[in-house]
Structure 1
Amino acid sequence: MTIRPVLAVAVSLTAAALILLLHRRPDARDMVSLVAALLKFLIVISLAPAVFAGLTPELTLFEILPGIDFAFRVDALGMVFATISSLLWILAALYSIGYMRSQKEQNQTRFFAAFAVSLSAAVGGAFAANLFTLVIFYEALSLITYPLVYHKEDDTSWAGSRRYVVYLVGASKSFLLAGLALTYQLAGTLDFLPQGLFRDSDASDALLTLVYIFYLAGFAKAAIMPFHAWLPAAMVAPTPVSALLHAVAVVKMGVFCMLRVIFHVMGVDVMGKLGLGIATAYLVSFTIVMASIYALTRDDLKARLAYSTVSQLSYIILGAALLTPMAAVGGVTHIAAHAFSKITLFFCAGSIYCASHRKKISDMAGIGRRLPWTMGAFFIGSLGMIGIPPSGGFISKWYLVLGSVEAGELVFLTVLLVSAVLNAAYFLPITYTAFFEPEKAPTDPGLTAAENIREVPMVVVPLMITALLSLALGLYPQYFIELARLVMRGAGLL
C-alpha cells in the first residue's frame, strides 16, 4: 500500500486551488503551475522502481458496492501514461505562460486552474485500479477541459465546445454506461485483471461482443472514426489547450482506456477467440488512412495536425488489436512517441501564431528564415510522426511493422507503409514551404509583415526541449519499451 498515487492526483488539485487564490498575483500564480508540475512528475517517477521490480502498489480509498471500489493501482501501463502526462505538464506549463502572456489572453487564471485539474484527472485515470475509478476520472477530464475549449468565448469557440462536450459526454452516458452495467452483471466486479475480466466467463459470444462494442463507442476520446469529429472541432481552443488535448491528456486517455479494455477487461484470449482483435484492426486501419487523407487536404495548420492526431491514435490501438507481442510493444511505445512529437508540433504552431498571427500553411512561405528554431523543431517533430530515425516514432512504428509480420497480416503492413507515405506528404511540404519558398507579402492585413516576425523566447524554449525529447526517445527508448514488455507479460503475450 502506498499513498503516492493519491498525492500525484492531489498535487495539481491543490495547485488549482492556489491558482484561483492568486488570481491578482500572476507571477506567483504561474510559479505555482511550474512547481506543482515538477512535484507531480517527481511523485510519479518515484513509483517506477517498484513497477520495474514487478510490484503493483495499490490503495483502496472506499467501497461503493461489492466489487466496486474507488481504488488506485500502479502498474506498467499506468506508468506509461502517468510518466508522459506529468513530464509534459512541466513543459506545457512553461509554454502556456509564454503564450498566454504574449497574446495578452483573458481569463488566464481560469485557464491555468482548469489545466491543473485536467492533469489530476489524467494521472488519476492512469493509476485507476478498476473501470469505475477510470470512468470517474475519464468523465472529470471531459468536463474540466470544456472551459478550456471555449476559452476565447466567441461564437466559434462556443460552437466547437458544444460539439466537443456532446460527443464525449453523450458517448459516455450511453454506450459507456451500458458497457459498465453489463460488465458488472457478467463478472460481478469492475477490477482490472491481468488477463481480462472475461477470461473464464460463460457469457455468450454475442453478449461479450456487444460489451466490447459499447466500450469501443463509449471511449470516444480515442477518436476512432466515426467518433472523431469532436477533435477537429476542439481546435478553436488556444494552442496550449490543443497541445493538452492532442498530446498530453485527453486523446491519450481515450487510447489508454481502450488498451485497458483490450488487455485487462476483455483479455487477449477472448479478443482472439471472438475475432474482435482483427475486426478492430481493420476499423482503426480505415481511420489511419482516411484521417491522413483528410490531413493532406487541410491548409489550416492546426486542422492538419488535428487530423494527423486522429490517424496516429489508431496506430496505438492497432498495435494492441493485432494481439502479438511485437505489435503490442509498438502500440504502447507509440503513446510516448506520439506525445513528444505531437506536442512539439502544436507548440510550433503556437509559436508561429505568436510571432506572425499566421494559421494557414500557404501563408508560411519563407517563415523558416525568420523562425529557424521553431521550424527546425517542427521538422524534428515531423520526423517522429512519419517514423524516420532517429526519432521515437521510428522505434514504435518499427515494432508495429514487425508485429504485423508476426501476426501474418500483411494488409496491416501495407496500411503502415501507405500511411507513412501520407504522413510525409502532409508534413514535409510545410518545412519546405517555410525554408525554401520565397517570402510573400501577407494578403490579410491582420498578419504580421515578414520583417517584423521574431521568435518569442518563452515559447521557443519549451518546444526545443520537447523536440530534443522526441529524438532522445528514439536513441534511448528502453524506459518505455521495458514498461511495454511488462504490460505484455501481464496480459499473457510474453
Structure 2
Amino acid sequence: MSAEILLLTTLLLPLVGAAGIIIARHTPDIREGITLLTSTLIAILVLMIAARFMDGEQFTLTVMEPLPGIAIAFEIEALGMLFALVAGLLWVVTSIYAIGYMRSHNEQNQTRFFAAFAVSIAATMGIAFSANLFTLFLFYEMLTLATWPLVTHAGTAEAKRGGRTYLGILLGTSIGLFLLAILVTWSLTGRVDFQHGGILSGHIDPAWAGLLYALFLFGIGKAAVMPFHRWLPAAMVAPTPVSALLHAVAVVKAGVFTLLKVTIYIFGGEFILSNDVTGGLIWVAAATILIASMVAMTQDNLKARLAYSTVSQLSYIVLGAMLASKAGLIGASMHIAMHAFAKITLFFAAGAIFVASHKKRVSELDGLGRAMPVTFAAFFIGTLSIIGMPPFGGMWSKWYLGLGAVETAQLLLLAVLMISSLLNIMYLLPIPIRAFFSKPESGEHYSNIAEAPTPMLLAMVITSTACVILFFYPDPFYRLAGLAAGGY
C-alpha cells in the first residue's frame, strides 16, 4: 500500500465506521462489532505508518487548495506520529470499555454515542497529521463539534448546561484568538505550513512575538490553561467513556499537541529561547499546575477531582513547550503519552466504581477496595504513574520536564513541578488507600457489590499494565519525542 493510500485510509476509515454504526443501529451486536473492527483496524494502520515512518518513509497528501498557498494537506512528522499512536491505540481499549459500560448501565442513544465517538477519532487523526495551521484548525473545530453530542449525551438540564459551557469556551477561544493568531502568522510570513525550526524568525519583531504566542496559548482552549479551563470540569456530566475520550485519547491531548506543534514548527525552539518569547507566560502554566492541584484536593466528586487533576497535568505539557529546550520538549511530548495511559486508567476505574456501586464521591469509597480489588489496584497503578513514581511510565516525562527546567536555569519552575508531585500524592493516593484499608460506613455492607463487567475490567488491566511497560520500554515514544524536539 502506498504512503498516500495508507494515510488517506487512516483518515477516512473512522468516518466509514461511523456510517456503518448508523446503518447497523437496530442490531447492537453488529453495531458494536463495527466499532471494535474499525478501532482495531485504525490501531493496526497507525502501527504500520509508525514502522514505515521510523524507517524513513515520508507521508504527504494534498487534498485541495481553496486559497493560493493555503491547502488542506497532510504530512506526518514525529510529534504527529506520537499523538496518532496514543489516540489510535487507546481508541481500541476505550471501545472495549465503552461497550461494557453502555450495556451494563443501559444507556440510551448508544448508536449516536458510538457514531460520534468514531467521528471524533477521525478529527483527531486529522489534527495529528495536519501539514499546516489551516488544516489543523479545520479538524480542531470538527473535534469540538463531534464531541459536543457526547458531552450532552444524558440529555439532562445539567448535561445541556455543561454542553453550553463546553461549546462556548472552545469555540469562543478558537475563533476569537486561535484563528486570529493563524491570520497574523499568515500576514507576517505569507505561509501557514509547519517547518522544523519555525517560520516566524525574521518576520516578526521579537518584542511582539510574545503577544502572538499568547494568542496561541489562550486560543487553543483545549489545552485548558487557566482561566479558559472551565469547559473541562463542566464536561464531566458526560458518561465515563466520554471522560476517558476527553482526558486521554482526543480533546485535551489535541490541545496540548497543537500548542507543541506551534512551539516547535511555527516559532521554533531556538527563536523562543534566544528572544525570551514566552517570558512571563510560562508562569501562567506554573500557576495552572498548582492552582488546579489545590482545587482537586477540595473535590469530593471523584470525576471532578480527576478533571482538575487533568487541568494541572496538561499544563505540565504547556510548561515543557514554553521551556523550549530539547529536554523540556521531550518531556512535554512524552507526557502526552504517559499521562494518557495513566489518566485513562483512573477514569476507567471511576466508571467501574459507578457501574458496580453507583458511588461518585471519594468520601463514599471506604472499604470498597475489598469488594473491587482489580478496579482499585488499577487505580493505584494509574495514581503512581501520574505522581511520577518508578516503575511506571509517568516517571520519564516528569524526569525530562525537570531536566528542561534545570537546562534553562528555571529552578523555581523545577520547584513547581516537585510541589505539584507532592500535591498529586495528597489528592490521588488517599483514594485507593481508604478503599483498601478504611472500614465502610457504619451499617454498610458490600456483600452485594462485585467488580464491573469483564470488558471494563479488561480495559483497565490493559492500560494499567501499559503504565508499567512504558517504564521499561518507553523507546517508541521517546524516539519520536526526540525527533520532534531535535528538529530545530
- Taking structure 2 as the reference length, the TM-score comes to 0.97
For 2:450, the equivalent position in structure 1 comes to: 454
Aligned-residue offset at 1:208:
2.9
**Aligned mates of 2:443, 2:316 — CA distance in 1:** 38
For 1:157, the equivalent position in structure 2 comes to: 159
For 1:170, the equivalent position in structure 2 comes to: 172
For 1:276, the equivalent position in structure 2 comes to: 277
* Conserved? CA contact 1:37–1:90, under 8 Å: yes
* Conserved? CA contact 1:367–1:450, under 8 Å: yes
Unaligned 5+ segments in structure 1 are 444-448
**Aligned mates of 1:137, 1:432 — CA distance in 2:** 42
**Aligned mates of 2:291, 2:56 — CA distance in 1:** 40
Deviates more, 1:168-177 or 1:97-106: 168-177
Q: For residues 33-88 of structure 1, what are the alpha-carbon distances to aligned partners after superposition, in whole Å with 9 as ceiling and x for unaligned?
A: 11100111111111113332344311111112122110010110001100000100
For 2:302, the equivalent position in structure 1 comes to: 301
Q: How many percent identity over aligned positions?
A: 47
Q: Counterparts in 2 of 1:335-350, with a 5 A limit?
A: 335-350=336-351
* Conserved? CA contact 1:395–1:474, under 8 Å: yes
Which of 182, 185, 189 is the equivalent residue of 2:184?
182
For 2:373, the equivalent position in structure 1 comes to: 372
Q: For residues 184-222 of structure 1, what are the alpha-carbon distances to aligned partners after superposition, in whole Å with 9 as ceiling and x for unaligned?
A: 111111101111110232x33344333222111111000
For 1:14, the equivalent position in structure 2 comes to: 16
Q: Secondary structure at the match of 1:46?
A: helix
For 1:218, the equivalent position in structure 2 comes to: 219
Q: Counterparts in 2 of 1:422-461, with a 5 A limit?
A: 422-440=423-441, 450-456=446-452, 457-461=454-458
Q: Counterparts in 2 of 1:225-244, with a 5 A limit?
A: 225-244=226-245
1:483 paired with 2:474, answer no
1:118 paired with 2:115, answer no
1:66 paired with 2:68, answer yes
Q: Counterparts in 2 of 1:462-481, with a 5 A limit?
A: 462-481=459-478
Q: Secondary structure at the match of 2:429?
A: helix
**Aligned mates of 1:327, 1:206 — CA distance in 2:** 23
For 1:57, the equivalent position in structure 2 comes to: 59
Which of 99, 102, 105 is the equivalent residue of 1:103?
105
Note closer, same or farther for the CA distance 1:420–1:262 as it changes in structure 2 (3 Å cut).
same
Q: Secondary structure at the match of 1:70?
A: strand
Q: For residues 371-399 of structure 1, what are the alpha-carbon distances to aligned partners after superposition, in whole Å with 9 as ceiling and x for unaligned?
A: 00000000000011100001110111111
* Conserved? CA contact 1:352–1:358, under 8 Å: yes
Aligned-residue offset at 1:400:
1.2
**Aligned mates of 1:180, 1:101 — CA distance in 2:** 43
Unaligned 5+ segments in structure 2 are none
* Conserved? CA contact 1:441–1:450, under 8 Å: no
* Conserved? CA contact 1:209–1:274, under 8 Å: no
**Aligned mates of 1:66, 1:15 — CA distance in 2:** 33
Q: Secondary structure at the match of 2:382?
A: helix
Deviates more, 1:74-83 or 1:316-325: 316-325
**Aligned mates of 1:392, 1:55 — CA distance in 2:** 28
**Aligned mates of 2:188, 2:57 — CA distance in 1:** 29
* Conserved? CA contact 2:210–2:278, under 8 Å: no
Q: Secondary structure at the match of 1:451?
A: coil
* Conserved? CA contact 2:206–2:277, under 8 Å: no
* Conserved? CA contact 1:363–1:442, under 8 Å: no
**Aligned mates of 2:25, 2:309 — CA distance in 1:** 36
Q: Secondary structure at the match of 2:66?
A: strand
For 1:77, the equivalent position in structure 2 comes to: 79
**Aligned mates of 2:91, 2:295 — CA distance in 1:** 29
Aligned-residue offset at 1:458:
2.0
Aligned-residue offset at 1:168:
0.1
Which of 4, 7, 14 is the equivalent residue of 1:5?
7
CA-based RMSD of the aligned residues comes to 1.3
For residue 76 of structure 1, what is the amino acid of its counterpart?
A: A
Structure 1's consecutive aligned runs of 4 or more residues displaced over 6 angstroms after TM superposition are none
**Aligned mates of 1:24, 1:192 — CA distance in 2:** 44
Deviates more, 1:235-244 or 1:269-278: 269-278
Residues paired across the two proteins, number: 485
Q: Secondary structure at the match of 2:4?
A: coil
* Conserved? CA contact 1:278–1:322, under 8 Å: no
* Conserved? CA contact 1:298–1:304, under 8 Å: yes
* Conserved? CA contact 1:280–1:318, under 8 Å: no
- Taking structure 1 as the reference length, the TM-score comes to 0.96
Q: Counterparts in 2 of 1:301-340, with a 5 A limit?
A: 301-340=302-341
Deviates more, 1:384-393 or 1:45-54: 45-54
**Aligned mates of 1:318, 1:199 — CA distance in 2:** 22
